[in-house]
Structure 1
Amino acid sequence: MSSDSFDDLQTNNISLVPHVVGRSKCIAKIAFSAGSTILSNSSFADVLLPSEKSHRCDYCHHLSGSDSLKRCTGCASFYYCDPTCQSMHWKSGHRKICGLYNSYTSASSFQALEEHKKMDALLLSSLIAHATLVDANERNSDENTAFLTFQALLPGPMAASAPPICPKHSFPAEVIQELYSRFENNNFSIHSHFKTYAHGIFPIASRLFNHSCMPNAAVKFILQVHKPVKLEVVALRAISKGDEICIPYIDPALLQTRTTIFDLTYGFTCCCPSCNVVRAMGMIPEPPKGQVEFQAVCKRLREFVGVMRLSPFSTGDDSLFPRDLACVLHESFISTLSEHFSAASHDGQYDVAMESSKSLSAFYQLIYPPNYPQIGLHILEKAKTCWNHLVRSTHTMSIVTELERSLVTAREVFAVIGLEGDPDNGPVAEISTLSDAKKSL
């Protein structure tokens, strides 16, 4: 990376400084309160998942559906809100792809790729199409910085040959390979309402932020008509001046498999407090199979979290975590518990669902940092279960109280992360709908 492009990453609020064991770290130059936006960064290149094609604009990702979106008149394979989005996408690189796209995607070399490799091939094609504009001096300084930054990112630990790409270009094969070597460990899954719908390249964010399984910041995405999707890094809790700012690269709930993912995909060993506790547990035992025994573990978990001052996973002090609860760290525990909650809610076994929900909440409080979005998502599902319980059975004050408490808690979590993704519906809108419905009780 050139010195100029490195300097462009420094702002009045954050700065890159040397790291003891890593390449560098992002330090807060000011204090951030919970909910503060630390970084806002537009996509350099992105592609929709196949399931989203024709449902979202290929430029701004606005969700409209094929009835209202307009097809590209050239390739008929890309969809846009209107001529404005089509023109913007054309200028940002689609014109390098349009005439070749259909023959490219129907070619045997492309069709032979695995599905995730097809996504890589399409994203790499989008990146190259955008990058070719630098030769014609059609990109602004911010885009030049983004491309230089992407080139300077560390490659992943696994060597894989670059897939075939669509646009014609003048980049040497070794440059294409170098760009592709940064895909697995630097690209972002773009989500709306925390459900992935696209993949994208945000070089500045990739360069700035290290990972933590107990992060103090998280990523969200902002969608606006006629504008490229924007990534924002938001403080989950108060961050003091001088603190390192970290985001999660993967779901922290992947307690067992994350070490392997970090090793194979990112090429590092995570030494965050959460990983230190998990490693100290050694071999994680499976949770009991019997229902009575499983429920006893859940009760023990709720009791422990109920009196816990600080999560051992935030302090890194494994002596604070009871060894007899080690089985809750087995990934089958949360999957089994989630299945119990979903099945009971669906079948109308609301008392059973509420017990499972309490255990899930305790687990999330244990392994996630405060205000982590998944906490809010589960509390919202709990509120929906309370509502279904109320409308399908006799009203009880305890359920009404639980509904009110859940809505307050969910609203507090999402107030921190703020609005994200598609502007319609989503968790915040669902909380408002339930709150209005509660008034009728």
Structure 2
Amino acid sequence: MPSDYQSNIDLAENVSLDPLAVGRSRCMANIAFSAGSIILSNSSFIDILLPSEKGHRCDHCHNLSGIGSLKRCTGCASFYYCDHTCQSKHWKSGHRKICKLYNTYISAASFQALEEHKKMDALLLSSLIAHLSSVDAKERDENTAFLTFQSLLPGPMTTSAPPICPKHSFTAGVIDGFYSRFENNNFSIHSHFNTYAHGIFPIASRLFNHSCMPNAAVKFIIQVHKPVKLEIVALRAISKGDEICIPYIDPALLQTRTTIFDLTYGFTCSCPSCNVIRKVGFIPEPPKEPVRFQAVCERLREFVGVMGLSPFLTGDDSLFPTELTCVLHESFISTLSEQFSAASHDGRYDVALESSSSLFALYQLIYPLNYPQIGKCLHLLEKAKTCWNHIVRSTSTMEVAAELKNSVVAAKQILTVIGHEGDHDDGPLAEIETLLLEVETYD
């Protein structure tokens, strides 16, 4: 196995697995973690870039360099590297088993017939087999990452593995066994919360269960010449003895999450959020008439403004008003998002800010504290940009200026918890710092 792979954590000191009679073990905190603490730091075992990122990022370390500045593999002309160091490491870790076969493989009818997400699985599985075929069997079978990967629970779907690229000595049964752990144990690797690759991180998959109201989240660190690193970050204070959970899917998938859990992961989620949704029962569509829709938005903002902790965080469904059940319909969040985006684009900033306030209220209701990806802080950043455009392009009020300042300060506070992630040259934190300077200038 590559010498770059490290678990980088003393599991006996920081966290431990609490075995259960039924179901997966629980990852328990052996020490107290404050918000922003790094619970786990773990380099990737296997990873692959999305096709759209080919030529933009190094295939070994994922450094973002742009077309023309990376060195192309002379053997297949389909993989790109920062320099000879990255190319050599990638070659030794498995690319040499794929290089001459890769272009024939991806152009074959059997590969092209696969659905897009299955193509990614096929490429990741091919990289795994190429990697395992590149190391000594004894070294492979004693490696912590590989042993942990083999211990992962297979998914509920029993399908044969797709065709793979490298020649190998594994039996079809072994390959199918590897593949059975793919869909429910892979990670989408993101930078600035935008997915650009997929990867296998066996220790993180083994340790952390899911919650739709998690107390921890995943981020990724890109370092030149090194495999991408996954970090588990505490979103809020975690006491010693608490279970540490991460989200497997977007918590905003309020209606479809149960089906996803059943088909992809094979479990029924019993987190506080899912318990409330089950008790709510039938979720009606939101009203289509603009006046009635706006009335629901006003009621939502009013409720969230006085609710304290969200019922979806506490699990107390008695705190959730029955007249707001329609906001749990997945079309409600998409409608608000479209209204906000369209109004911002068209320069109707007052309409955009009203939609933004309703959307943020919904995020406060359904997302956990300090959730970074597509919820609170990134929306706050977009709201702050809209406020700024409103100020510089129209006659705005002091209330808009105050809303700008509040939004950008709140966005920074939440993003500071998650810290820098992915590419370090730009991103949300840099945008926030720029907006803060503009706010100071305006003041």
Q: Same fold (TM over 0.5)?
A: yes
> Partner of 1:102 in structure 2?
103
Cα–Cα, structure 1 residues 323 and 147, in superposed 2: closer, same or farther, change >3 Å?
same
Q: Is the aligned partner of 1:404 residue 2:413? A: no
Q: How do 1:61-140 residues align onto structure 2 when only pairs under 5 Å count?
A: 61-135=62-136
Q: In the alignment, residue 421 of structure 1 is paired with which amino acid? A: G
CA deviation after TM superposition for structure 1 residue 17, in Å: 0.9
Q: How do 1:101-250 residues align onto structure 2 when only pairs under 5 Å count?
A: 101-135=102-136, 144-250=143-249
Cα–Cα, structure 1 residues 206 and 9, in superposed 2: closer, same or farther, change >3 Å?
farther
Cα–Cα, structure 1 residues 239 and 398, in superposed 2: closer, same or farther, change >3 Å?
same
CA deviation after TM superposition for structure 1 residue 235, in Å: 0.1
Q: Is the aligned partner of 1:316 residue 2:315? A: yes
Cα–Cα, structure 1 residues 128 and 75, in superposed 2: closer, same or farther, change >3 Å?
same
Unaligned runs of 5+ in 1: 1-5
Q: Is the 8 A contact 1:215 1:369 kept in 2?
A: yes
Q: Is the 8 A contact 2:97 2:134 kept in 1?
A: no
Q: Is the 8 A contact 1:109 1:164 kept in 2?
A: yes
Q: Is the 8 A contact 1:133 1:139 kept in 2?
A: no
Q: In the alignment, residue 407 of structure 2 is paired with which amino acid? A: S
CA deviation after TM superposition for structure 1 residue 114, in Å: 1.7
Q: C-alpha offsets along residues 46-101 of structure 1, whole Å, 9 cap, x if unaligned?
A: 11111111111101111111210110111111001111110111111111111211
TM-score (norm 1): 0.96
2: CA distance, partners of 1:68 / 1:114: 31
CA deviation after TM superposition for structure 1 residue 119, in Å: 0.8
1: CA distance, partners of 2:128 / 2:72: 22
Q: C-alpha offsets along residues 221-260 of structure 1, whole Å, 9 cap, x if unaligned?
A: 1111111111100000000000000000000000000000
2: CA distance, partners of 1:291 / 1:219: 38
CA deviation after TM superposition for structure 1 residue 19, in Å: 2.9
Q: In the alignment, residue 309 of structure 2 is paired with which amino acid? A: L
1: CA distance, partners of 2:20 / 2:323: 36
2: CA distance, partners of 1:316 / 1:134: 49
Q: In the alignment, residue 118 of structure 1 is paired with which amino acid? A: K
CA deviation after TM superposition for structure 1 residue 139, in Å: 6.0
> Partner of 1:289 in structure 2?
288
Question: 1:346 aligns to what SS in structure 2?
Answer: helix
CA deviation after TM superposition for structure 1 residue 439, in Å: 3.1
Unaligned runs of 5+ in 2: 1-6
> Partner of 1:429 in structure 2?
430
Q: Is the aligned partner of 1:41 residue 2:39? A: no
CA deviation after TM superposition for structure 1 residue 140, in Å: 10
2: CA distance, partners of 1:212 / 1:230: 22
Q: Is the aligned partner of 1:366 residue 2:362? A: no
Q: C-alpha offsets along residues 398-426 of structure 1, whole Å, 9 cap, x if unaligned?
A: 11111111111000000100000111111
Aligned residues: 433
Q: Is the 8 A contact 1:221 1:421 kept in 2?
A: yes
> Partner of 1:414 in structure 2?
415
Cα–Cα, structure 1 residues 38 and 435, in superposed 2: closer, same or farther, change >3 Å?
same
2: CA distance, partners of 1:88 / 1:103: 23
Q: In the alignment, residue 278 of structure 2 is paired with which amino acid? A: R
Question: 1:133 aligns to what SS in structure 2?
Answer: coil
Q: Is the 8 A contact 1:9 1:15 kept in 2?
A: no
2: CA distance, partners of 1:233 / 1:330: 30
Segments ≥4 residues shifted beyond 4 Å: 136-141
Q: C-alpha offsets along residues 340-387 of structure 1, whole Å, 9 cap, x if unaligned?
A: 111111111111111111111111111111100021000000000001
Q: In the alignment, residue 10 of structure 1 is paired with which amino acid? A: L
CA deviation after TM superposition for structure 1 residue 133, in Å: 3.1
2: CA distance, partners of 1:316 / 1:354: 30
> Partner of 2:4 in structure 1?
none
1: CA distance, partners of 2:149 / 2:115: 25
Question: 1:440 aligns to what SS in structure 2?
Answer: helix
Q: In the alignment, residue 319 of structure 1 is paired with which amino acid? A: S
2: CA distance, partners of 1:246 / 1:339: 31
Q: In the alignment, residue 423 of structure 2 is paired with which amino acid? A: D
Question: 1:221 aligns to what SS in structure 2?
Answer: strand
2: CA distance, partners of 1:335 / 1:320: 25
CA deviation after TM superposition for structure 1 residue 135, in Å: 2.6
Question: 1:369 aligns to what SS in structure 2?
Answer: coil
> Partner of 2:3 in structure 1?
none
Question: 1:38 aligns to what SS in structure 2?
Answer: strand
Question: 2:195 aligns to what SS in structure 1?
Answer: strand
2: CA distance, partners of 1:11 / 1:400: 50
CA deviation after TM superposition for structure 1 residue 281, in Å: 1.0
2: CA distance, partners of 1:28 / 1:347: 49
User: Kindly, what percent of the aligned residue pairs are identical?
Assistant: 78
CA deviation after TM superposition for structure 1 residue 111, in Å: 1.7
2: CA distance, partners of 1:383 / 1:197: 26
2: CA distance, partners of 1:357 / 1:11: 45
Name which of structure 1's ranges 13-22 and 244-253 shifts more when overlaid on structure 2.
Answer: 13-22
Q: Is the 8 A contact 2:38 2:231 kept in 1?
A: yes
CA deviation after TM superposition for structure 1 residue 134, in Å: 3.7
CA deviation after TM superposition for structure 1 residue 284, in Å: 0.5
1: CA distance, partners of 2:68 / 2:139: 33
Q: In the alignment, residue 203 of structure 2 is paired with which amino acid? A: I
Cα–Cα, structure 1 residues 137 and 83, in superposed 2: closer, same or farther, change >3 Å?
farther
> Partner of 1:30 in structure 2?
31
Q: Is the 8 A contact 1:9 1:204 kept in 2?
A: no
CA deviation after TM superposition for structure 1 residue 138, in Å: 6.1
2: CA distance, partners of 1:391 / 1:102: 52
